[in-house]
Copies of this chain bind each other. A is one copy, B any other.
Amino acid sequence: MTRTLQRQVTPPRIKRRALSIPAEFDSDPVVWAAWLYYEEGMTQEEVADQLGVSRASVVNFLQEARDRNIVTIAVSSRHLQTIGLAREVADAYGLTNCLVVPDDGGRLPVHERIGRAGARLLIERLQPDDVLGVSWGRTVQALSAALPEMNLPGVTVAQITGCSIGTTEFSPELCTSNIATRLGARCVNLHAPGIVSTAQIKRLFVQEPALVETFKIIRTSNKVLFGVGSVDDAGTAMRSGYMSPENIGPYVARGAVGVVSGRFIDHDGKPLLGALDNRMIGLTLDEIARVPERICIAGGADKIDAVFAALNNNYATILVTDVATARALVPRAARSSRTGVTRRP
């Protein structure tokens, strides 16, 4: 059998009627089953006896308990940091923190795996009154999907780049609102295009009182979450209608190796300003760099150059990546420090 995810996957189940149930279950047999099985370590058969149902039903109850987050099964992100490789990367680039996701032989795409680890990390780091700025991309979207339902009304999730034209699954506005919804947090969207047609128009937009308000909130972010795009792969930024080849061309010609939150960076990670920049609406790289905690989630062979550049200029304080990328990053850091490229400690 190749449907290897079955253990975790279930069609949504909503109502439940209790008839055979001995009046003990004033409400939820699912909770009882979960308690007896996961907390007391009964076998499913014992639970079935206790509840007076068949074992098969217990299987279903437990499945539902996982789906409804009555039980949580989580690998603590703290331990992914203890992997030696994670330490090496963190040391090499002066990160406060690095998570390296184990290799799974290609079962899940890289961004999925990184997204999950990122989700774990995020919920372990979020504090009650945080303002979390989020960028966008495939990996950020994967992270949002991996978040459990929570209830953190004190947290604010803010969109730090304007919207893309086509509303794809991983557009800035959806990434933000998905994350906010999952966390039960306040959502602050940036209601403006990410790139407008002229610098003139941009000026009009950002003077608009509603947007001024929004920007005030966005700039209070004390954490940011962003992915890193490569420019080689004709990737996310373009497929999503955010940018076009004509736009990107000049930047690449001038040495752009990656994209962070819609902005180009060169090999050293320095912002590469060009024709587009004064038409972009959203936090600038310098503004992002001033946020105290900066979580970068990115990995994959095609992104190594871009991630290296981003780390090189200290955009991230925390990196979540995969083994292959981490392996590639460590020697580069060594080489670059040997060749004297500056890096803050």
Contacts and interface: CB of A to CB of B under 8 A. Distances in A.
Q: How many copies does the complex hold?
A: 2
Given A5-B41, A104-B50, A26 B75 contact: no
B31 A83 contact: yes
A26 B103 contact: no
Interface string A78-120: 0110111101100000000000011111011000010011000
Interface size class of A (residues with CB under 8 A): 35 or more
A107 B4 contact: no
Nearest to A7: B41
A68 to B, nearest CB: 8
A141 B292 CA distance: 41
A28 B82 contact: yes
Contacts of A103: 24, 50
B105 A31 contact: no
A76 B71 contact: yes
Given A24-B103, A104-B50, A75 B5 contact: no
A75 B4 contact: no
B43 A116 contact: no
B71 A74 contact: yes
A70 B74 CA distance: 8
Contacts of A71: 73-76
Contacts of A84: 26-27
A70 B75 CA distance: 6
A116 B26 CA distance: 22
A113 B40 contact: yes
Contacts of A36: 102, 104
Given A46-B4, A72-B74, A103-B50, A35 B80 contact: yes
Nearest to A46: B4
5 contacts: A4-B42, A5-B41, A26-B84, A31-B80, A50-B103
Given A38-B73, A65-B75, A71-B74, 10 more contacts: A4-B43, A26-B88, A28-B83, A34-B79, A35-B101, A40-B107, A40-B113, A42-B107, A70-B75, A70-B79
